[in-house]
Amino acid sequence: MSAASSHVLEADGIQLAFGERRILSDVYLRVQTGQVVGLLGRNGCGKSTLLQTVFGGRHLPDASVRVNGRRVVPAYRQPGLLNYLPQVPLLPERLTVAEAARMFGVNAQQALDGFPDLSAQLSRRIGELSGGTTRLVQVLLLLHANTQFSLFDEPFSGVMPVHVETLADLFQQAKARKGILLTDHRYAEVLPLCDVVYLLQNGRLEQLPSDPVPALRDRGYLAS
């Protein structure tokens, strides 16, 4: 990707509290095309909320989300800008895998290449697939869709190890086309993938050093 075609997604000003409990308070997040950015944090710290807010599905009054410095709220309304995999199922159960691929403007054979067991299931309905297979199909379609950015909330959840490895390779390859923001507790798979790692803790987003493991231990995300 040339420097001229690179894009920067930024978010800040995001404030959220439930009663006395502050979930997000001091957040600056930056993802550039050509990067995989990892977002880690303990259960319930606000990672999903942050992704929903960047995507624009959750409206928080002071949130600023910008692409190349221009405000884009809600971001999902900008054609071709970004897509987002939530933790909950995304695809309508009645669609076949091939129809779901068409919905995202994706060549299904190409997207499922490298997963022979999936390629054989193009005519099956999403509702007939196993949970892990559904998750994998969703991730592959979003990854191959023609957007500048993709946001993934637990893309590896339920996916069997051999496919997680292939998927991790595909994330790396997809960097040539887009910027990726992902959160997943499978840190052993996530960390080697990432160009930048953020830790969300006590409402604050901290960018970690290039070897993030000591900081992750210090902050209690990993056992010391």
- Residues at the contact surface with ligand ATP, assessed by CB under 6 A: 18, 23, 41, 43-49
203 Ramachandran zone, left/alpha/beta (phi>0; psi -120 to 50): left
Q: Least distance in Å: CB of 7 to ligand ATP?
A: 25
Tokens for 121?
């299931």
Tokens for 107?
């060549």
Q: Least distance in Å: CB of 48 to ligand ATP?
A: 3
CA distance 216 to 223: 8
Q: Least distance in Å: CB of 49 to ligand ATP?
A: 3
Query: Which CB sits closer to ligand ATP, 10 or 184?
Result: 184
CA distance 199 to 215: 9
Q: Least distance in Å: CB of 88 to ligand ATP?
A: 11
Query: Which CB sits closer to ligand ATP, 18 or 176?
Result: 18
Query: Which CB sits closer to ligand ATP, 64 or 157?
Result: 157
Pairing relationship of beta strands 36-40 and 196-201 according to DSSP bridges: parallel
C-beta of residue 106 within 8 angstroms of C-beta of residue 45 = no
Q: 28-58: string of b/e by CB count within 10 Å (b at 16+)? A: ebbbbbbbbbbbbbeeebbbbbbbbbbbbeb
Query: Which CB sits closer to ligand ATP, 88 or 176?
Result: 88
Q: Least distance in Å: CB of 24 to ligand ATP?
A: 8
Query: Which CB sits closer to ligand ATP, 91 or 199?
Result: 199
Q: 176-190: string of b/e by CB count within 10 Å (b at 16+)? A: ebbbbbbbbbebebb
